[in-house]
Amino acid sequence: MRKAVGPIARRSEVIRQQRERGGWVAAVLPIHYPRALLRSFDLLPIEVWGPPGIDPDHGAAHVQAYVCSIVRNALSFILSGGLDVADVIMVPHTCDSLQGLGSLLLDLVRPRQPVVPFYLPRGERECDIQFLAEEFRAISRQLEEITGRSPSLLELIECVKRDEEADGLLGSLHHRRNELALNSYEFYRVLRAREYLPSEDFVELARSCLACAAEAPNVGVPLILSGIVPEPMSMLALIDELGARIVADDLACCGRRLYPNGVSEDPFVRMAERIVRSAPDPTRGSPLADRSEHLLRLAAGSEARAVVFHGVKFCEPELFDLPVLREELKRAGLPSVIIEVDLNDPLSHQVRTRLEALLEMIR
């Protein structure tokens, strides 16, 4: 009999605790950002992946109809007061839509909080690491003006090392997922707690999960889940129901953020190293060959038999890669299926049909 994962603090509870101890809160848009830098200023990063299931009308009045629901919902959430608890809003220039959101918040529909945008390099060269390190230094100067604080380099490097410990355990959860007594929904609840829990709290959660051995091996057709974010989360229950299991993922909110440890003694360079040297990601301009090789390595290491590309509608970085990427995987004998969702839509019958068809083909 499986054991359910224990209680995981909600975002609202974590924010309340941060406030009670006198700390600040940063609302952070996807995907990559300097978590340790924010923590060194006693700013707790709370990631905003939409959120799903809110009234999109506030945001829809300011963005084009073909903007993805992550951006549209985030703007609606801000304009409706959903982020009033935040002291800072950070908007990485992850894609054209998020860059547009940053411009809107800076120039046209200004929230009460200061907005901190920054650019990510589109490469993995040494100069890309140095560029990103300079971006982080600029953010640090901006945060000093906002908070009135000036953390030392020693304080920052300690925050970086806490992040590395938490991300190391996050990697262990990924690699040992088949040993854990968790179904797909429970497993991704744990992984996604990294989006808002302080690193030290996530370390405790991850260790408690890793300590729970499965009483019986996981069974089902092994799949890789790729895309941005696994919403609606009910899709994970559907995968279990259909007799499949997720054995590896290439999700922007999960598998693409298994950051390696940095090596530099300079904390700004070290934070940049970790992001630039992470898994291939279309939002960072990774070549298609790197992405296909990465997915094939995941499949070989996990014995996955197919890939489910779970995308948010109108996500251009993902959609541009899929035709060529799927063809490369097909040549290697790895079939795939595309599922597109809007964050506000319930799980459709079409999704079930496509998953059933894929599983029927590979069983």
* pLDDT at 218 (0 to 100): 64
* pLDDT at 53 (0 to 100): 84
User: Is the pLDDT reported for residue 21 higher than 50?
Assistant: yes
Give the pLDDT confidence of 54-65 residue by residue, as tens digits: 888 888 889 888
Q: Is the dihedral of CA 331, 335, 341, 343 positive or negative?
A: negative
Residue 91's pLDDT band (cuts 50, 70, 90) = very high
Report the share of the chain in percent with pLDDT over 70. 97
User: Is the pLDDT reported for residue 113 higher than 50?
Assistant: yes
Chain length of the chain: 363
The structure tokens listed for 162 are 């806490």
Fold designation for 154-362: Rossmann fold (3.40.50)
Quote the CA–CA distance of 343 and 50 in Å, as a whole number. 7
Quote the CA–CA distance of 206 and 193 in Å, as a whole number. 10
pTM value is 0.93
Sheet holding 88-92, edge to edge: 43-47, 24-28, 88-92, 115-118
Quote the CA–CA distance of 278 and 257 in Å, as a whole number. 7
User: Is the pLDDT reported for residue 343 higher than 70?
Assistant: yes
Helix (H, G, I), strand (E, B) or coil at 197: coil
* pLDDT at 346 (0 to 100): 86
Between residues 7 and 128, the one the model is more confident about: 128
The structure tokens listed for 46 are 């709370």
Give the pLDDT confidence of 151-192 residue by residue, as tens digits: 999 999 999 999 999 999 999 999 999 888 888 999 999 999
Residue 52's pLDDT band (cuts 50, 70, 90) = confident
Q: What's the mean pLDDT in 92-100?
A: 94
Between residues 218 and 292, the one the model is more confident about: 292
* pLDDT at 3 (0 to 100): 52
Which part of the chain is CATH 3.40.50.11890? 11-121
Averaged pLDDT of the chain: 93
User: Is the pLDDT reported for residue 100 higher than 60?
Assistant: yes
Between residues 211 and 296, the one the model is more confident about: 296
Give the pLDDT confidence of 287-341 residue by residue, as tens digits: 999 999 999 999 999 999 999 999 999 999 999 999 999 999 999 999 999 999 9
Q: Is the dihedral of CA 123, 127, 132, 138 positive or negative?
A: negative
Please provide the distance, in angstroms rounded to a whole number, between the alpha carbons at the two ends of the chain.
26
* pLDDT at 1 (0 to 100): 40
Q: How far is CA 242 from CA 95, 174, 350, 362, in A?
A: 34, 22, 14, 13
* pLDDT at 215 (0 to 100): 56
Between residues 7 and 37, the one the model is more confident about: 37
* pLDDT at 217 (0 to 100): 60
Residue with tokens 């007594």: 181
Residue 8's pLDDT band (cuts 50, 70, 90) = very high
Q: What's the mean pLDDT in 142-146?
A: 97
* pLDDT at 347 (0 to 100): 86
User: Is the pLDDT reported for residue 275 higher than 50?
Assistant: yes
The structure tokens listed for 255 are 């598998």
Q: Where are the alpha helices (DSSP H) in the chain?
A: 11-20, 35-40, 57-60, 69-79, 96-107, 126-147, 153-175, 184-192, 199-210, 234-241, 267-276, 288-302, 316-331, 349-362
Helix (H, G, I), strand (E, B) or coil at 37: helix
Which part of the chain is CATH 3.40.50.11900? 154-362
User: Is the pLDDT reported for residue 261 higher than 50?
Assistant: yes
User: Of 191, 161, 176, 181, whose CA–CA distance to 302 is shortest?
Assistant: 176
Q: How far is CA 339 from CA 116, 230, 235, in A?
A: 33, 11, 10
The CATH label, of 3.40.630.30, 3.40.50.11890, 2.40.50.140, 3.90.550.10, for the domain at 11-121 is 3.40.50.11890
* Per-residue DSSP letter, 278: S
Q: Among 186-200, 204-218, 272-286, where is mean pLDDT lowest?
A: 204-218
Q: Among 107-116, 214-223, 226-235, 299-308, where is mean pLDDT lowest?
A: 214-223
Between residues 138 and 178, the one the model is more confident about: 138
* pLDDT at 214 (0 to 100): 64
* pLDDT at 213 (0 to 100): 64
